[in-house]
Chain A
Amino acid sequence: MTDITSQTQAALAAIGAATSLETLEEQRLDALGKKGWVSLALKTLGGMSPEERTAAAPAIQSARAAIADALDIRKAALEAAELEARLARETLDLTLPAAASPKGSVHPVSQVMDELAEIFADLGFAVATGPEIEDDWHNFTALNMDETHPARAMHDTFYFPDKTSDGKDILLRTHTSPVQIRSMLDQGAPIRIIAPGRVYRSDSDATHTPMFHQVEGLVIDRDIHLGHLKWTLETFFKAFFEREDIVLRLRPSYFPFTEPSVEVDVGYSTEGGRRVVGGHGDAPGHAWMEIGGSGMVNARVLEFAGVDPAEYQGFAFGLGIDRIAMLKYGMNDLRAFFDGDGRWLAHYGFSPFDQPTLSAGVGAKA
């Protein structure tokens, strides 16, 4: 008996002292292996009489259980220590830079065009398009600017040497207004559209580029008047700038394609050297800035576009997209819009996930 007890004590001590899984395995084989002393002791039970067996078995069984438990515990401890050591060896310097994926961006003009589409869709306007290489009938004549009209000369038009088959001049559209004509010819009245796009004038200085972006708006229906025009522009600017204190000033003006014609000013203040739209232009610290042209569509234009002016009337407006983008998002140099400078695009561009929505607000804050 004492043999087993002391052998067990010795084995437990050795197990407890094992420092590696290998030595632990040696201990296991020594005690519980096929030829281990516990296994051999267990085998001796087979040759015993029942009485002897009853007397001897518990000690052997308990020795086996104690050793097996000790092996398990020690094994778990050694494995944990080994894992810890391995993990320690695997430590990374996480201050090292990770690979970055390039960040793309959406151009502010595109972003603002999407904003326009979103706001005007809510007011029932569809987005219309037309060719940029136009003929002078759509760009001028149908807009009540016949060949001798002085306003034609004021448009700084780019011409092509080519002519249409019926002899019309071909030019780069000087405004988005020809889309009015095309849309009315296509769809008739009533109609509500906006037409954003590129337009061209042979003009280039600090604030003008030979190519820029305009959005045209057109509403033709039975009872549309100047009050609706004012509301529409006010409503648009409130939604676009996301502020309620937008004040518009309408001034009489002249465009051959509208009658009456109205220039639209918006009140603004100057904060930190930047124009901030909002407030009454005559209020202290405020002023007015021209922001677009508009008016009631001239009856002649309706006739040219195949709409009966006795039945229908309506308004049209034109706004500079680049300009309202600058006002909203703080760019100060129009020429940079068309340079493709990666730094500028990253600075003023928008995340692809800034898709304008009415519920989130159409604008994207920096």
Chain B
Amino acid sequence: MKFALTWLKDHLETSATVAEICDGLNAIGLEVEGVEDPAEKLAGFRVAHVLTAARHPDADKLQVLTVDTGEGDPLQVVCGAPNARAGMKGVLGLPGAVVPANGMVLKKSAIRGVESNGMMCSVRELELGEDHDGIIELPADAPVGKSFADYHGSSPVIEVAVTPNRPDCMGVYGIARDLAAKGLGTLKPIAMPAFSAAGACPVEIRTDDPEGCPAFYGRVITGVTNGASPDWLQARLKSAGQRPISLLVDLTNYLMLGYGRPAHVYDLAKLQGAMAARRAVDGEQCEALNEKTYTLDASMTVIADEVQVHDIAGIMGGQHSGVSETTTDVLLEIAYFDPARIGATGRKLGLSSDARTRFERGVDPAFLDQGLDLLTGLIVELAGGSPSEVVRAGSPPSDTKVIPFDPGLTLRLGGVEVPEAEQQRILESLGFSVGEGWRVTCPLRRHDIEGPADLVEEVVRIHGLDTVASVALPRAEGVARPTATPQQKLERGLRRAAAASGLNEAITWSFLPEWAAQHFATGNEPPWVLANPISEDLKAMRPALLPGLLMAAKRNGDRGAASSRLFEIGRRYFRAADGLSDEKPTLGIVLAGEKTQRGWQAGKAQAFDAYDAKALALQLLDAAGAPVANLMVMGEAGPQFHPGQSGTLRLGPKTVLARFGMVHPATLKAFDVDGPIAAVELFLDAIPAKKGAAFARPGFTPPALQAVTRDFAFLVPEALAAGDLVRAVQGADKAAITAVRVFDVFQGQGVPEGHKSIAVEVTLQPGEASFKDADLKAIAEKIVAAAAKQGGELRG
């Protein structure tokens, strides 16, 4: 909401400076978003007197003027305006001044060989109007030398953000009332224009929808002359950011901006029969003043005559009955509409307007008659015409709210002690009345006041929030207790473990292009897709963390990065059985580009492989406290992974803790990113919580005897998984064998076709007594037998 200081001063008797008023506005909750002082734009422009005017020696259309600026010798100025003449007074821009309309900096110059020391200005050049036929002509008594800004009376314009609970401050008068309560002046009574109304209103007015339109007041004015508004009115509207349209329209806007009261003016000649507020018929149409046609439905209130809809009630009037230059008779409408319905209609139609903004927040139900009279008086004064009596259909809400208030609540809730008398003064200055036993009656315009807490807010905001002193929160005795949940500790620990492993944490969008979400969807579950996405790229909620990381890796690659080692901890979005959101905490990793650069030691650059992914998965699962020794490597990482170079890590056959491996070439292609890329996802919700953990650890009992190692090499079928052989060997003697480690895998010379050689180092831990040769021989035989069951044959 924007308004000129002079407008405010119509309603507020004050000697406060602009700065003081702005501080006051901020302090009471009317946040100042900007102050614009047109005087700044007019710096360097003065009232000047043209002493002589002669033809330019070398140009027919130019004149050479001598101009008195009020100080020093008269200046010579070249001017092209046809109305420039000796004796007139006008506005001179001195060298250094900036022309508001075009930003040109004036300077001393020669125009066709004649020196010119400034510029006589037109209305348009100073952005005071559209006129550009000639230079500004000031009255003969204009004081020569005075700054034109001061002479013109330009006023600073203040822009405030009015919060949605304060429609009463969506007019200058309401702002003045709040400032007066703050002590920044005295609120002036509204000056009601005098006019005489005669005769009953010739138009019948009804409200057939008392729910949507409880009150509809009207009046006819005949014999008006519509045209351009006077300058003062245009200036006011412009200061408020409104474009002047025509006198009648401007006056309704003036009422709205001045008092927060929207009204509508119909061209009576375009109406037929009675005007009624009613529900629209489904499919009924109305071409609004914005020249767009809206299709209405039965939930919407409209104002219509016997033929058609003339107003989408409370939002926008209809084009058909809008006033024009030729309008002579008008019907004024002042109504009260149900705020909720206005909001719903506006949202459905996607139609915003200043009227809607006010109606949907709630206009003053007690300001219908006064508003109508104000508008009538202004029209009669400026456009002429004869007003009829008012005709009223229905009545606005009139139930006053009475709140039993305990002034002690101001301290208990607001934290500031305000004397009762001051609390009463504040409330009364805002239009509340304080009755016996602090029963507070609210003005009808304050739709936002619901209970005692609202009254505390009124008192505290006017008294000053700066008077609220800080009070420490009560503190539990001793050192603060830990508050993090196991899940939070898990995520924090994993984040730092991943970063310590050389990964950079990224945060990527929760939403993806729909195709990307589909690409990573699991099973038949459709991803969550937004109804109103901001773009196609941010449309579907991610079912995996990898797509966002792949896209980031692609961007990095496109920027020339040699590698991306990215991780993210965030949620994947699924559907629970009840149809609601099921958000699963997940850690995703993408390893793209070069694992090691080419180097003088290692030679060629190396890419990441599936074992890098596996190593990270296990390392981080270990950091997360998962029992990594018990995990099984299984398949089914998902179709986004290379089928032969990916796997899952499971605790038992069903609980998948992680998937890892190389990204499928088709996925790389879909994401238009260069491979190979290794990836990991850890499913944090699947990691079992530690049970009954205590600070004290089990006692340290190193074995008394030293372990021995024995190496075995087996020829096994090519298809046998090394893990199966290891597990078999491990199970050969559970007491003695504490570790089995693969140290060589070989295919080639000496190994028959279809086979491979796997060499393992077996660690044997003696218990009470050292192994004897016979013991070792027996264990070795068991190992060989176990391997044989997997198709393994000991190599000689």
Contact = CB atoms under 8 A, between A and B. Distances in A.
Interface of A: 96-97, 99, 101-107, 109-110, 114, 117, 121-127, 131-135, 147-151, 153-154, 158-162, 164-165, 170, 172, 192, 198, 200, 202-204, 210-211, 219, 221, 223-232, 234-235, 249-254, 256, 259-263, 296, 298-300, 313, 337-343, 345-346, 349-353, 355
A116 B274 CA distance: 65
A210 B509 CA distance: 9
Contacts of B482: 121
B774 interface: no
B165 A105 contact: no
Contact of A127 (B483, B556, B561, B573): B483
B476 interface: yes
A180 B126 CA distance: 54
Nearest to A131: B581
B416 to A, nearest CB: 7
A226 B414 contact: yes
B278 interface: no
B204 interface: no
B427 interface: no
B480 A122 contact: yes
A349 B504 contact: yes
B344 A148 contact: yes
B453 A298 contact: yes
B528 A133 contact: yes
Given A153-B343, A340-B556, A254 B468 contact: no
A105 B602 CA distance: 26
B415 A252 contact: no
14 contacts: A103-B502, A106-B495, A106-B505, A114-B492, A162-B528, A226-B465, A227-B471, A252-B28, A338-B508, A339-B555, A340-B506, A341-B556, A341-B559, A349-B504
Interface string B67-95: 00000000000000000000000000000
Nearest to B498: A104
Given A226-B414, A262-B465, A340-B549, A165 B579 contact: yes
Interface stretch (B102-110, B529-537, B744-752): B529-537
Contacts of B476: 124
Interface of B: 26-29, 31, 163-166, 339-341, 343-344, 347, 360-361, 411-416, 448, 450-451, 453-454, 456-457, 460-461, 465-466, 468-476, 480-485, 488, 492, 495-511, 528-535, 538, 541, 548-549, 551-553, 555-556, 559, 561, 563-566, 569-571, 573, 578-581, 583, 596, 599-602
A110 B495 contact: yes
Which 7 residue pairs spanning A and B have beta carbons closest together? Answer: A340-B552, A252-B29, A227-B415, A254-B163, A102-B502, A260-B457, A133-B581
Contacts of B27: 251-252
B453 A160 contact: no
Contacts of A101: 502
Given A161-B529, A355-B496, A104 B344 contact: no
B453 A211 contact: no
Given A114-B492, A162-B528, A231-B473, A252 B505 contact: no
A254 B468 CA distance: 18
Contacts of B164: 150-151, 154, 254
A352 B361 contact: no
B431 to A, nearest CB: 17
A107 B502 contact: no
Contacts of B165: 254, 256
A250 B416 CA distance: 13
Contacts of A223: 412
Given A227-B470, A352-B499, A160 B343 contact: no
Nearest to A114: B492
A340 B508 contact: yes
Contacts of B529: 160-161
Nearest to A133: B581
Contact of A230 (B470, B531, B580): B470
A108 to B, nearest CB: 9
Contact of B453 (A97, A221, A259): A259
A192 B475 CA distance: 11
B573 to A, nearest CB: 6
A121 B511 CA distance: 32
A133 B466 contact: no
A127 B491 CA distance: 13
B504 A148 contact: no
Contacts of B473: 123-124, 192, 219, 224, 228, 231-232
A162 to B, nearest CB: 7
Contacts of A114: 492
Contacts of B29: 251-254
B300 to A, nearest CB: 14
B694 to A, nearest CB: 22
A249 B466 contact: yes
A70 B672 CA distance: 78
Contacts of A211: 509-511
Contacts of B571: 132
B600 A97 contact: yes
A172 B499 CA distance: 29
With most chain A CB atoms within 10 A of its CB, the pick from B164, B500, B535 is: B164
B454 to A, nearest CB: 6
Most buried by B among A109, A127, A165, A345: A345
Contacts of B412: 223, 225, 313
A132 B465 contact: no
A127 B534 contact: no
Contact of A107 (B506, B561, B565): B506
Given A150-B361, A202-B534, 19 more contacts: A102-B502, A105-B504, A117-B484, A133-B541, A150-B164, A160-B530, A202-B533, A203-B534, A204-B534, A221-B474, A225-B415, A227-B416, A251-B465, A252-B465, A253-B163, A338-B507, A341-B559, A342-B564, A345-B504
B313 to A, nearest CB: 15
A250 B465 contact: yes
B502 A127 contact: no
A352 B480 contact: no
Nearest to A162: B579
A206 B551 CA distance: 21
A261 B414 CA distance: 10
A164 B579 contact: yes
A296 B451 CA distance: 13
B432 to A, nearest CB: 16
A259 B410 CA distance: 12
Nearest to A194: B483
Given A260-B414, A342-B504, A352 B497 contact: yes
A132 B532 CA distance: 16
Contacts of A263: 31
Contacts of B551: 340
A346 to B, nearest CB: 7
Given A109-B507, A165-B579, A226-B415, A99 B599 contact: yes
Contacts of A338: 507-509
B128 to A, nearest CB: 32
A211 B339 CA distance: 31
Contacts of A225: 411-415, 471
Identify which of B450, B534, B555 gathers the most chain A CB atoms within 10 Å of its CB.
Answer: B534
A292 B54 CA distance: 65
A162 B465 CA distance: 43
Contacts of A203: 534
Contacts of A299: 451, 453
A135 B561 CA distance: 42
Given A117-B484, A125-B483, A225-B412, A110 B471 contact: no
Contacts of A158: 530-534
Given A210-B538, A351-B499, A131 B504 contact: no
Contact of B505 (A110, A150, A256): A110
B600 A96 contact: yes
B496 A106 contact: yes
B451 A160 contact: no
Contact of A132 (B500, B583, B601): B583
